[in-house]
Amino acid sequence: MTKAGQFGAALLVLLAVYCAAQDKPSEKVFPMSKGTTWVYSAHVKWGKPGTEATASKDLRWTVTVADAAQNGDIAAALLKGGPWDLAWYEPNVKPQEHLIVRIGATYYLLHDEAAATFADIKAGKTSDLTERLADDIWFQMPIGISDNFCAPEAEERAPMGCWSVEKITTTHSLRVPGLPPTPEATEYVLFFMTNPDTEMVTLVPGVGIFSWQYQHHGTVAEASLKLVEYRAPGARVLRRPLASKH
């Protein structure tokens, strides 16, 4: 083969590798390794039952990947705790189970039947998983501005009742203990709007949920969380949790 032919062949190989890398689903939007932990600084506000009075509180809230599973292009992370636990705060609130599933480049978020669905994935019972999770779609990579991710019955009224991409920004000040220094990071801001409430989440690839907010438009129920510490599996605790943690 001539030098020109060798160069052309090498160029085709590099091009193929590049295209494959571009087509590969992003597996780093939400870390799914068992033991991954996020610590959030939270502020909650709630109405006192039977009165018009409200109360508020600052606390730390911890979210951990309690177990993880991988089955082909399906990955799942069973969470102990989640920002959603604080939407309707009560003083005795406990971390609940939530499930994040990635099928290819599509992410799903489940609050109900989290443990049962995770058990099915771990056991390989996934033949109809895409159909089963259709109502739980969260987002799909690559994310574009004004994208809407809807359950089938919500498509006609989008963006209401759907995850809607409100904003995509680049931050130059992402400094969180436990994360390596990052010169810049992409932030995806997604809203989920219904008549009674609004939920907003900021996602950072490789980090997961960076911040989260909830507001009910009737009875007072508000919560806002921001990431203050990240722990990779096996990492040591970087700061002493507050006594009011859970």
Does 143 reside within a domain?
yes
- How many CA within 13 A on the CB side of residue 147? 16
Does 176 reside within a domain?
yes
Share of the chain above pLDDT 90, in %: 75
Q: Number of structural domains, the chain?
A: 1
Distance separating alpha carbons of residues 12 and 21, to the nearest angstrom: 14
Does 94 reside within a domain?
yes
Map residue 87 onto helix, strand or coil: coil
In Å, what is the CA distance from 239 to each residue of 66, 176, 184, 207? Answer: 21, 12, 25, 19
Distance separating alpha carbons of residues 66 and 11, to the nearest angstrom: 44
Range of the domain at 99: 25-231
What is the C-alpha radius of gyration for the chain, rounded to an integer number of angstroms?
A: 20
- pTM listed for this prediction: 0.85
Which pLDDT belongs to residue 10?
38
Which pLDDT belongs to residue 236?
82
Which pLDDT belongs to residue 23?
35
Does 18 reside within a domain?
no
Does 241 reside within a domain?
no
Q: What is the mean pLDDT of residues 1-30?
A: 45
The lowest-confidence range among 2-6, 69-73, 127-131, 214-218 is 2-6
Find out whether 127 and 133 touch, Cβ atoms under 8 Å. no
What residues contact 68, with CB distance under 8 A and at least 6 apart? 32, 33, 34, 75, 76, 77, 78
pLDDT digits (tens, 9 = 90+) for 98-122: 999 999 999 999 999 999 999 999 9
Does 2 reside within a domain?
no
Does 118 reside within a domain?
yes
Task: State yes or no: pLDDT of 44 exceeds 50.
Answer: yes
Does 6 reside within a domain?
no
Task: State yes or no: pLDDT of 43 exceeds 70.
Answer: yes
The lowest-confidence range among 2-11, 34-43, 168-177 is 2-11
Q: Which tokens in the block code for residue 177?
A: 């203990």
Question: What CATH number is attached to the domain comprising 105?
Answer: 2.40.360
